[in-house]
Amino acid sequence: MAAAVNRWIVAAGLVVLVLAAVVGPVGSYSPFKKNQHGSFTRTPGQNGAAGPREREQERLASPYVGPLAGLEGGSGKRMANDFQEDLGKNAFDTVYHWKVIDFMYPSLQLRNNAIRTREFIPENNLPLGVDRFRDRLFVTTPRWNPGVPATLSYLPLPAQDRSHPLMPYPDWSYHTSPRNPDCSKMMSVYRIQVDECDRLWVLDAGVTDTLTNLQQVCPPKIMAFDLQNDELLFTYVLPPEQVKEDSLHTNLVVDVREGQCEDAFAYVADVWRNGITVFDMRKFRSWRTTNHLYNPNPIASDYNYQELNFQWSDGVFGMSLAPVHRSGDRMLLFHPMSSFMEFQVPASVLQNETVWEGFGLAAKAFQPVGTRGRLGQSSTSGVAKNNVQFFTLVQQSGVGCWDLGKPYNRNNLGVVEKNAQKLTFPNDLKLDRELQQSVWVMSNKLPVFLYDKLDYTQTNFRVLMADARKAIEGTVCDPRVPPSLAFDAAQLECELQV
């Protein structure tokens, strides 16, 4: 039962937000209500407040989830990045691990020839995206550098050889080389998603040599495969006017409602040019959306990983979908990579193409959810069947969690596990669709790969798995555990004004 809040005011240019006021003793109520035109008006109530009936009507009528709430009365003196956590929990098991990436070639001779011609340079391959469908695990290898022979592969489940070579998906013929590019094939896949209709959605950024001399060899495109027979269902190329100079499309989420497979939408994040492109599968067209909350926070753009200090001005990146509300709408939860905040927008706003033909018409639909605090940068996230969001904590070598039914504050944010060895720079996270749902994480030491040199005598890349229900059992993220409303408002105000 998420509590509502007073309006938030966007200040200081990017994503630095100032809390205006909070009303009500326990569950805070917002006297602002969206009217039929999409703007906000003040609702009736004595001195702007509301009684229990009005609060309940407001909660049921709104698909917004988990805003920062219960700020008054906070007495905790918690550190800014101090989540609730079970320090004894060992939730994640390693399913696959590699010192260096190898591929399954049809023959040893072809593999040796690829190495000789430098079509395959093992040390230039780094796994990034991950998702699972039944007895197969899918892994992406973007073309960061030359020498990446295939950009999307699969592995068998359960794992027998835990360092199994990657097997190109669907096969070698679907992959193209930058030396002689065929843009109808896959060039550089960053992330993927398996949907409830047994389809594998593939986001091909089309860029090569990201680390040295970025080249947009092929236009960005979305591909979808039927996982029942591995046939290509369609390819959709993003129109040139929706791709900016230096765009980098790195993540997507797929929105399917109640098995309506032909009415799917895909939301595609442009992390370098701060936009989300919306793809309408039925209409087979797309449009680009913009909002200032897609932008990075300069304070959160400074990273420290092991002994490396670096700056990433990465915009909107992590995206996950809340459950469908009884109104028929649902929220897209999102955050820039370089940010401590979580935000939300109704999917209906993103899906309304005409709204994006003007300027500022949809701005008020975007709302902050809350802050993860310092060191709260997160790459990707996902929402489980029990309405618990899991998210990576890249600077903390961990995975966090949040029950969507609770206020988004650090007393209600949990840490599933922190482990500087297993979860060293957790980069991608997915929830599978199995009956007994699991959360999957790819950890890959990306900063060392980018700015230093990996030690290939040590394990560098891991795919990890945890039972999504057992991982949060008895923690603050467990929906059966009551929410905490205590929060240090003074600490929050200080943090947001940095």
54 confidence band (pLDDT: 50, 70, 90): low
- Rounded Cα–Cα distance for residues 478 and 412 (Å): 10
- Per residue in 431-480, pLDDT (tens digit) is 999 999 999 999 999 999 999 999 999 999 999 999 999 999 999 999 99
Distance from CA of residue 317 to its chain's centroid?
Answer: 6
pLDDT above 70 coverage of the chain, percent: 80
- The encoded tokens of residue 51 equal 């009684």
H, E, C per residue of 356-423 = HHCCCCCHHHCEEEEECCCCCCCCCEEECCCCEEEEEECCCCEEEEEECCCCCCCCCEEEEEECCCCC
- Rounded Cα–Cα distance for residues 277 and 319 (Å): 12
Average pLDDT over residues 71-95: 60
Closest listed residue to residue 224, CA positions, set 249, 250, 261, 257: 261
Strand boundaries in 81-185, DSSP class E? 84-85, 93-98, 130-133, 136-140, 152-156, 167-168
Residue 72 has pLDDT above 70, yes or no: no
Per-residue pLDDT, 38: 34
In terms of C-beta density within 10 A (0-12 exposed, 13-18 middle, 19 or more buried), how is residue 463 classed? buried
- The encoded tokens of residue 370 equal 């809350």
Per-residue pLDDT, 360: 66
Given a contact cutoff of 8 angstroms between Cβ atoms, the answer to whether 207 and 195 are in contact is no
- Rounded Cα–Cα distance for residues 496 and 19 (Å): 9
SS3 344: strand
- Per residue in 371-414, pLDDT (tens digit) is 999 999 999 999 999 999 999 999 999 999 999 999 999 899 99
Q: Tokens 């990465």, residue?
A: 314
Per-residue pLDDT, 59: 55
Residue 35 has pLDDT above 90, yes or no: no
Per-residue pLDDT, 200: 99
Backbone angles phi, psi at 56, to 5 degrees: -65, -40
Residue 287 has pLDDT above 50, yes or no: yes
Average pLDDT over residues 255-281: 97
Per-residue pLDDT, 357: 84
Find the range with the poorest average confidence among 21-30, 348-357, 395-404, 481-490.
21-30
41 confidence band (pLDDT: 50, 70, 90): very low
- Rounded Cα–Cα distance for residues 388 and 479 (Å): 8
Closest listed residue to residue 21, CA positions, set 71, 84, 95, 85: 71
Per-residue pLDDT, 86: 55
| Segments making up each domain of the chain, as ranges | 84-496
Residue 71 has pLDDT above 80, yes or no: no
Average pLDDT over residues 301-323: 97
pLDDT above 90 coverage of the chain, percent: 76
Average pLDDT over residues 222-243: 99
Taking the alpha carbons at both ends of the chain, their separation in whole angstroms is 31
Q: How many residues does the structure list for the chain?
A: 498
Per-residue pLDDT, 81: 55
43 confidence band (pLDDT: 50, 70, 90): very low
Pick the CATH number of 84-496 from 2.40.30.110, 3.40.50.300, 2.120.10.30, 2.120.10.60: 2.120.10.30
Find the range with the poorest average confidence among 11-15, 294-298, 300-304.
11-15
Residue 28 has pLDDT above 50, yes or no: no
Instruction: Write the DSSP assignment of 445-468 as a string of letters.
Output: -HHHHHHS---TTS--EEEEEEET
Find the range with the poorest average confidence among 170-174, 257-261, 289-293, 453-457.
257-261
Higher pLDDT, 122 or 72: 122
Mean pLDDT, the chain, whole residue set: 86
Q: For the CA atoms of the chain, what is the radius of gyration? A: 22
Residue 96 has pLDDT above 50, yes or no: yes
Distance from CA of residue 443 to its chain's centroid?
Answer: 14
Neighbours of 216 (CB within 10 A): 17
Residue 3 has pLDDT above 90, yes or no: no
Per-residue pLDDT, 442: 99
SS3 121: coil
Residue 335 has pLDDT above 90, yes or no: yes
Per-residue pLDDT, 330: 98
| 2 contact partners, CB below 8 Å, separation of at least 6 | 59, 64, 65, 66, 67, 69, 404, 405, 406, 407
Residue 238 has pLDDT above 50, yes or no: yes
